Amino acid sequence: MTADSTPTLLVVHHTPSPPTRELLEAVLAGANDPEIAGVTVRSVPALGATIPDVLAADGYLFGTTANFGYMSGALKHFFDTVYYPCLDAVAGRPYGLWVHGNNDTAGAVTAVQKIVTGLALTQAAGVVEITGGVDAAARERCYELGATVAVTIAPE
Ligand SMILES: Cc1cc2nc3c(=O)[nH]c(=O)nc-3n(C[C@H](O)[C@H](O)[C@H](O)COP(=O)(O)O)c2cc1C
């Protein structure tokens, strides 16, 4: 964040289907909650997110599908790209994570957590794991996730 800009929350996501789009939109709605003033929310697909995007942000939300017991290849590619160039620069910044799968998201969560631990990010909200259909409760959990992480970087 520079002196004349608002803090930025970078949302890096893999969103391959309508249900995962619903989750992303709920996360973004929460992050943009009108009661949270002074935060810029940037949503970028994982395959398009860059090192400057990460360096310029003040907090992060990561969203992925569970694929073969791991995070999506797209989010893995993102972390492969930014990890070493951003190491040290991002330490202590807050993050949140949501994962959607058919029946087992545990491996994807563990995989992301290992990487964000290496980056020394600070977990700002509980991981949101959603399996199967996306209902109102799932959307609400994603909304809360977005709002919770946005609040942590909002100006006093
Ligand atoms: C190649 C592939 C591997 C997958 N592996 C897993 C998995 O290990 N665990 C899981 O819960 N779901 C798995 N899924 C399901 C996806 O997570 C799911 O399709 C995705 O979250 C999108 O949800 P939707 O299909 O309901 O739109 C896999 C899907 C694909 C295409």
HEC per residue, the chain: CCCCCCCEEEEEECCCCHHHHHHHHHHHHHHCCCCCCCCEEEEEEHHHCCHHHHHHCCEEEEEEEEECCEECHHHHHHHHHHHHHHCCCCCCCEEEEEEEECCCCHHHHHHHHHHHHHCCCEECCCCEEEECCCCHHHHHHHHHHHHHHHHHHCCC
Is 8-153 in CATH node 1.10.3980.10? no
Q: Is 64 in the pocket of ligand 1 (CB under 6 A)?
A: no
Rounded to the nearest angstrom, the distance between the alpha carbon of 21 and the centre of ligand 1 is 14
- Mind listing the pLDDT tens digit for each residue in 103-116? 999 999 999 999 99
Residue nearest to atom 18 of ligand 1 (CA): 101
Q: Is 14 in the pocket of ligand 1 (CB under 6 A)?
A: no
- What is the value of pTM for the model shown? 0.97
Confidence at residue 1, expressed as pLDDT on a 0 to 100 scale: 57
For the chain, give every domain's residue range: 8-153
Q: Is residue 2 scored above 90 in pLDDT?
A: no
Confidence at residue 156, expressed as pLDDT on a 0 to 100 scale: 84
Rounded to the nearest angstrom, the distance between the alpha carbon of 62 and the centre of ligand 1 is 17
Confidence at residue 4, expressed as pLDDT on a 0 to 100 scale: 55
Residue nearest to atom 29 of ligand 1 (CA): 67
